[in-house]
Amino acid sequence: MKKSKISAIVFLCLSLICAYISGKSFLNMHKEEPIVKGPGVTEIRMLSDYFPKLKDTAGDTEIYVLEGEKPGGSMLVLGGTHPNEPAGMLSAVLLIEKAKIESGTLYVIPRTNRSAFTHNDPQEGSPQKFRIKTPFGERWFRYGSRATNPIHQWPDPDVYIHASSGQQLSGSETRNLNRGYPGRVDGTFTEQVCYGVAELIRKEKIDMEVDLHEASPEYPVINATVAHEKAMNVASMAVINLQMEGIEMGIEPSPINLHGLTHRELGDHTDTLALLMETANPAQGRLRGKTDENLVLTGIDPIYVQAGEQGRLFVSFDETGHPMKQRVGRHIAGIKEFINAFNEINPQNKLQLENVPNYEELMDNGVGEYLLNPQR
């Protein structure tokens, strides 16, 4: 009997330890990484300022506003639409912490699907966070999921039917933010977030929007800009300039019959010039090995090297991989060239962006060199 009690106490203690560890892990997924309000940030708003129904929900998220002293054009940058594509979110953070606007206004949302940052995909073996080295130590960032947390929207239907078009997709896509645009006032949680973003664009009359993504090296639309037909002039000029700078970049028209995505629906349902960028990230692919922090940061995977040698990928791939600094560098370079192209077309309504590192600087110095110290 005494032996049984001792065993029971031991098992109880082990259970409590497991519960503590798992509970701490769960709470850490809801802890947000610090983002420093840079010198160019003039105001921080919330998405619920544009769609009050989101207030006090996991769909409400910060909008960093960088307004210049002079009037001019406006741009919205969406990071974190898919939180398991971290270069988009990190590019948005870099803009928040470094950029200054001389004329016009830049709006940046680093965590567009805030809910999706509160969990990840355990079946993928994904890390919960990754760290960036800086001159003052390490900064940490969460690695989330492609989809809204099911605790905020459940259950998934067998078939997801896009409300305004009738397009049918797998039921799990109902929690994919980039399948829910233009959103609905009384739609699902995810569709309401989409509606909030569309309302921000409409109410602020934002001239241009870019949604930052990453994709697997075997995906056909990779290292590319996808543009709504209204934005094709800006995209074409930007892509030509990027290629002249030695940055390989393709261009794809937004498919008319593919609905729910920013580059289609925001172009159709608002006056903005809707753009989307994809960078090559092997952590997104099906050929990858262990999905750990190292893969996320270095973009190095031996199987992808072999696949590249066999011509099975849509992007070049060698032992140097596609590191985070390169992927962020491509996003930042693209944003700068979109602005340059917009300014050339609209010389009376310029958006002037300053103090942002160029592609070569990011490749030479890394992203951490340009992040601020949250402890300062």
* E strand or H helix that includes residue 17: helix 2-29
Comparing CA positions, the residue from 33, 45, 38, 133 lying closest to residue 83 is: 33
Whole-angstrom distance, CA of residue 308 vs CA of residue 298: 17
Give a yes or no: residue 223 inside a domain: yes
SS3 of residue 103 by DSSP: strand
Give a yes or no: residue 180 inside a domain: yes
- Under DSSP, the state recorded for 265 is H
Give the pLDDT score at 124: 84
pLDDT average per 10 residues of sequence, the chain (376 residues): 64 56 52 95 98 98 98 98 98 98 98 97 89 97 97 97 96 97 98 98 98 96 97 98 95 97 98 98 93 96 95 94 98 98 97 98 98 91
Give the pLDDT score at 123: 82
Give a yes or no: residue 5 inside a domain: no
| Region at 94 (left for phi over 0; alpha for psi -120 to 50; beta for the rest) | alpha
Give a yes or no: residue 273 inside a domain: yes
Virtual torsion, Cα 264, 268, 272, 274, nearest 10 deg: 10
Whole-angstrom distance, CA of residue 362 vs CA of residue 156: 41
Q: What proportions of the chain, in percent to the nearest 5, are helix, strand and coil?
A: 40, 20, 40
Whole-angstrom distance, CA of residue 239 vs CA of residue 245: 10
Whole-angstrom distance, CA of residue 185 vs CA of residue 196: 9
**Boundaries of domain holding 265:** 31-370
Comparing CA positions, the residue from 332, 356, 338 lying closest to residue 237 is: 338
How does pLDDT run across 133-163, given as a tens digit for each residue?
A: 999 999 999 999 999 999 999 999 999 999 9
Comparing CA positions, the residue from 192, 177, 210, 206 lying closest to residue 78 is: 210
At residue 90, what is the residue type? L
Give a yes or no: residue 306 inside a domain: yes
Give the pLDDT score at 121: 86
Whole-angstrom distance, CA of residue 265 vs CA of residue 258: 9
Q: What is the CATH number of the domain that holds 158?
A: 3.40.630
Total domains, the chain: 1
| CA diameter of the chain | 87
- Is residue 369 within 8 A of residue 134, CB to CB? The reply is yes
Give the pLDDT score at 22: 46
- pTM of the model as a whole: 0.93
Give a yes or no: residue 3 inside a domain: no
Give a yes or no: residue 16 inside a domain: no
Virtual torsion, Cα 37, 40, 42, 46, nearest 10 deg: -50
Q: Is 154 buried (19+), middle (13-18) or exposed (0-12) by CB count in 10 A?
A: exposed
